[in-house]
Amino acid sequence: MVSSEGLSAPLPPPQAATRQYGVTKPISTAGPTEADIQRTLELEKFLVDAGLYESKEDADKREEVLQRIGQIVKDWVKQLTRLRGYTDQMVEDANALIFTFGSYRLGVHGPGADIDTLCVGPSYVNREEDFFFILHNILAEMEEVTELQPVPDAHVPVMKFKFDGISIDLLYASISLLVVPEDLDISDVSLLYDVDEPTVRSLNGCRVADQILKLVPNIEHFCTTLRCLKFWAKRRGVYSNVTGFLGGVNWALLVARVCQLYPNAVPSMLLSRFFRVYTQWRWPNPVMLCAIEEDELGFSVWDPRKNPRDRTHHMPIITPAYPCMNSSYNVSQSTLRVMVEQFRYGNKICEEVELNKARWCALFEPYLFFESYKNYLQVDIVAADVDDLRAWKGWVESRLRQLTLMIERDTLGMLQCHPYPHEYVDTNKQCAHSAFFMGLQRKQGEKTQGQQFDIRGTVDEFRHSINMYLFWKPGMEIYVSHVRRRQLPPYVFPDGCKRPRPSRIMAQQQADKLPYDDGEVSVTGSGERHLKRKKDLDGVDVNQVMPLEKRQSLSPQPRDSVSPVIISDKASSASPEHSDKGFSMEVVESNKRTLLGETEPEYASNSSTITNVTSKGSCDDAGFGSVAVSSEGNTRSVEGSSVGSNNPGYLQGDVCEADSESLSDNGCGNGNLRQDGSQEALEPNAAFGMLLNSNEGVNSEQKAVISRLSLTSTA
C-alpha cells in the first residue's frame, strides 16, 4: 500500500525473467528507465491525493467486521447442526468459513468499497432455506445490520447488507463435506465435486482471485496498475458489469494479461501499455492468462467450437480457474464500441504524458456524457419508499442491458445505444426515485436520409419483461422516455444546472478546426465527443402540440444523402413526406401522465412515454435517423437461441500489435485452442453480432401515454 507520508522509487526488477507468464512469450522484458520511475512516483502520488487508499483505522474496522461475520456463520451452522439431531461431537466440529474475493482480496479496494465475501458451509446446510431464510432472519434481528437485501434469483445468488456501516456482498457455497476444515484450500478442484452450477459460480470468485495473484509477475505493480484502471474506468463511465461494460474481475484480468506481456515494467509503463495493447486488440480474440483446461468433473468451459452461445460473445475475457468461463459475456456491440473509444482516448493521453505534454490528471478527467449526445433515453424508476426502491431498482438495473441488446437487435445494429452506469436521483419528487440514461446515435459512417428506427415495440417488450418482477409492490413503476439534450433534467448536472454553452459563432469556429469522421463525430485532445453543429432551430417550441400533417420544413433538404428506411417491429407513424426539418410533438394520450417537459408525473401503473424521432440527411441534433419509443405493440421474449459465426478469430487469443516487436514466433499450443501472434490472426473473418430469437404475438394489455416527438435534420 502506498502511504502519503513518503513515496520511494520502486526497484527495477531483474532483467532476465526465469519464468514465462501466460500462454505466449512477453512482448518486451525491458525494465524501467529513470523517466519511467519518475512517472510512476507521480502516478502513485496522484492516487494518494485522489483519496484512493483507505486509512489504517478503516482497514482495521474491515478486519473486525469480517471476524464478526465469521463468528456469526459459525454459530449459525452449529445451531442448524444441533437442530437436525447430529451428535454433540458433530455440533462441536461444525464449522463455516468466510473467504474474500474481488477488490478486497486483490488489495485494490478504496474507502467505502464493499467487501465481496463467500461463506463455505457443510453439505447439510443449504442455500435456499438455511442461508436465505434462517441466516437472513438472524442478520435482520441484529442492530449492526442495515439495508439487508437477499437476491436469491441472481446469476450468483447473493445477500447484500451493511454491517456496522461496511457494505457486504455475501455468497454461500455448500460443499460435499460434513465438516469444513479450518485450513480448507479454496483452490482445490475437488471442492467442485457433486455441487450445482450456482455453487460453482460462487466458489469461482475466490478461486479466480487466487489464480490471478499467482499468474502475475509482480503483485505490487499489478495492484497499483489495477487501482489506476478501476479509477479511470469509473471516471470514464465504463465500470459496470451489470450495464454491459466491465466489472472488477474483468479489469483485473485485462491488467494481469498486460503484466504478463511486460513482466519487468513498472506501473506507469503498464498503464501506458494497457491502452496501447487494448486499443489494437482484435476482438473477439479472447484474453486468457493461462491455457483452458478441461477436467473430468464435466463442467462446461468456454469453447466457441463446441458451444454456439460462446460464438456470440463480443469481448471474451476468460477466467483462469476451472471451469474457465467468459467473465464479460454481458458486453454488447454498443458497449464494446464505447470501451474501444475510451481505450483510444486513454492511449492518446498516455502518449502525451510520455512526451511530457500532459500530466496524469488529464487521463482521469470525467467523461462528459450529457454533452456527448443530442438524444437520450431516460429510464425513471420509482417506488413507495426507499426500501422498495432498493429492491425494484436492483431488478430494473440488472435488466437494462437487455434493453441495449433489444435495440441492437431490432435496428440491426444501426442505432447505437450508450448506457451510462451512473444513477441519478430527483430529490424534488415526493416518492423514492432513481433514473438512468442512455445516449442514442445513428451508427457512425452510415449516411442516410429519412432513416427510421421504430423502437416502440422494443421498449414495450422491455417494460413487459420488467413488470414480471415476482416481488412487485404497489408504487413500483418504470417510465421510459426520449429526451433531447436541451430537455435534460437539472439533477443530472453536478451543480444542479446545465453547463454554459459557447456562443454559436465560437462553437462554429471550434468546429471548423476539428477533424470529423464522416462529418459526425471526432475525439479531440480532451477525448470528448464533438457532434457537428448546424444552425439551431431557435423559436421552435419542443412542447408545442402540433398535428403531424401541419409540420413544415424549416430548412432545405440535404443534397447528397441516401434515404433507406429501417423499421423494426412496426412502421413509424411519421411518413416520409411528413419527416420535415424541425422539432414538434404530437400527444395522443389515454391520460395526462408524462415525464416530458416540466410536467410533474403522477406515477401511474404501467405507464410509459412514447417518442418518435425522425431525421433526414447527416447527423445533427438526433445523430441518427428516426427513433420511435412506444409502450404498445408486441412483446417478445429475449431468451432464445443464439446464433454466431464460426470465426477462427475466436480461436486466436491474445494477439495485438502492441509494440514493434513481432509476436509471430510466440504461438503456444493450448489443447485445441491456440494463441497465435501472427499478423494474419488479427483480422476476424466476419462481423459478429448477437442474434436473439423472439416469440411474436404476445400483445401488451397495458394502457400508456403516447407522445410522439418528430425530429428531422439536415446538414
Which active-site residues does the annotation give? 103, 114, 116, 169, 230, 239
* Neighbouring residues of 277: CB distance < 8 A, sequence distance ≥ 6: 257, 258, 261, 656, 658
**DSSP character at residue 133:** I
Integer-rounded Cα Rg, in Å, for the chain is 27
Cα–Cα dist 393/391, whole Å: 6
Distance set, CA 321 to CA 263, 330, 465, 533 (Å): 21, 19, 34, 50
Per the omega criterion (within 30 degrees of 0), is the bond before 547 cis? no
Question: Cα dist. 413→24, 244, 440, 441, 689 in Å?
Answer: 35, 16, 12, 11, 8
Beta bridge partners of 161: 168
Residue labelled with grid coordinates 494497457: 274
Quote the CA–CA distance of 682 and 246 in Å, as a whole number.
23
Length of the chain: 715
Provide the phi-psi class of 130: left if phi over 0, else alpha when psi is between -120 and 50, else beta: alpha
Q: Is the CB of residue 164 less than 8 Å from the CB of residue 171?
A: no
Measured distance CA(240)–CA(440) in Å, rounded: 19
Count the alpha carbons within 13 Å of 381 in the hemisphere toward its beta carbon: 26
Beta bridge partners of 326: 318
Rounded to whole angstroms, the Cα distance separating 487 from 482 reads 9
What kind and span of H or E run contains 80? helix 56-83
